[in-house]
Amino acid sequence: MSTIPMPDKRPANPHFSSGPCAKRPGWSPEALSDAALGRSHRAKIGKEKLARAIEMTREVLQVPADYRIGIVPASDTGAVEMALWSLLGERGVDMVAWESFGSGWVTDVVKQLKLDDVRRIEAEYGALPDLSSIDFGRDVVLTWNGTTSGVRVPNGDFIPADRKGLTICDATSAAFAQRLDFDKLDVVTFSWQKVLGGEAAHGMLILSPRAVERLESYAPAWPLPKIFRLTKGGKLIEGVFKGETINTPSMLCVEDYLDALSWAQSVGGLDGLIARADANFAAIDGFVRKSGWLAHLAQDPATRSNTSVCLSIVDDAVTALDADAQAAFAKGMVSLLDKQGVAYDIGHYRDAPPGLRIWAGATVETSDIEALMPWLEWAFQTQKAALQSA
């Protein structure tokens, strides 16, 4: 078997994981030197840092002034679960899903909350479901960007301004890289470890005035554990949205999030972050168009994610294989790139179709994406040569 020549240039940063994602350019542990370590999060310094994290989130994400922003436990999962368990049940709900995390929320609502009036509006990996079939007289739960499929909603135009139900949106791989239409969203959740490359285990919960009204006027039929409770005596616990967290946060992680937000402001805020992610996607897309063996999993160009870019291997020699062999081929490529130290953690999500998933969010440098592309070619040709010689 002939040896495929390796590219000359390597990415300066090989971190292309879809979560936790790459730290911001230039990051080092020294960025956390001002962390309030060993101090109570309820002390003045702790409260000030948590409140600053909330306000900087509002500034960078351009969250409306009358929306509440809270720091909650258990990452994006915790934030979504808080919304589902606290808000649903007042009326019927449409669950909209087109990849694994959205499908997970369907499972929670159907099998754990066991709501009776649930409609499932779903699509296979690579496509959006029929958004026109959603009934916004009901509550609606959806992801903005499908992290495991690379399929996103192009905008919020499909959501009516005069909706009767609430829209609950998992935006964890969209926030800070895609423009969220807050006027159309009543609950928005995300986690620190995605687009801004913060540390894991902390979630963000953003509530519209309509969501607050629901919380204060509706009490679910089921008991809520302390970690989910957002009201007391029928009133919103306002402290949660001023930095008085439900449980103890990591002040080291808080400092890291503040550092990431400061960096975000330095690159032009939301517009700058979106531009960086768009440039990264464009570099990948240009290579895909020329490759002849790669294709986007997202079928419609208008729905392709600029963060979690999911790719299928469409070479005839690979598509002729069964599903297990196709998955093994993709894993072989991923392993080759990992061993060379040029790309870490770019395999497809375990429930997704076989292929590659490259994180292109704002903390990734376009120069590193560009340097990675020839290595994809090398890994593919090397793996194909091994397949043909087997």
Looking from the CA of 315 toward its CB, the CA atoms found within 13 Å total 20
0.95 exceeded by pTM: yes
Contacts of 68 (CB under 8 A, 6+ apart): 206, 207, 212, 236, 241
Q: What is the pLDDT of residue 1?
A: 46
Bridge partner list, 73 = 202
Helix 366-389 and helix 269-291: axis angle, to 10°? 30
Whether cis (ω within 30° of 0) applies to the bond prior to 220 is: no
Catalogue all structural domains in the chain, each as residue range(s) with its CATH number. Answer: 29-266 (3.40.640.10), 269-389 (3.90.1150.10)
pLDDT tens-place values along the chain, 390 residues long: 468 999 999 999 999 999 999 999 999 999 999 999 999 999 999 999 999 999 999 999 999 999 999 999 999 999 999 999 999 999 999 999 999 999 999 999 999 999 999 999 999 999 999 999 999 999 999 999 999 999 999 999 999 999 999 999 999 999 999 999 999 999 999 999 999 999 999 999 999 999 999 999 999 999 999 999 999 999 999 999 999 999 999 999 999 999 999 999 999 999 999 999 999 999 999 999 999 999 999 999 999 999 999 999 999 999 999 999 999 999 999 999 999 999 999 999 999 999 999 999 999 999 999 999 999 999 999 999 999 998
d(CA 175, CA 190): 7
What is the separation, in whole angstroms, between the first and last Cα of the chain? 10
- Between CA 110 and CA 117 the distance in angstroms is 9
Exposure string of 154-186, with b = 16+ CB inside 10 Å and e = fewer, is eebeebeeebebbbbbbbbbbbbbbebbbebbb
pLDDT of residue 2: 62
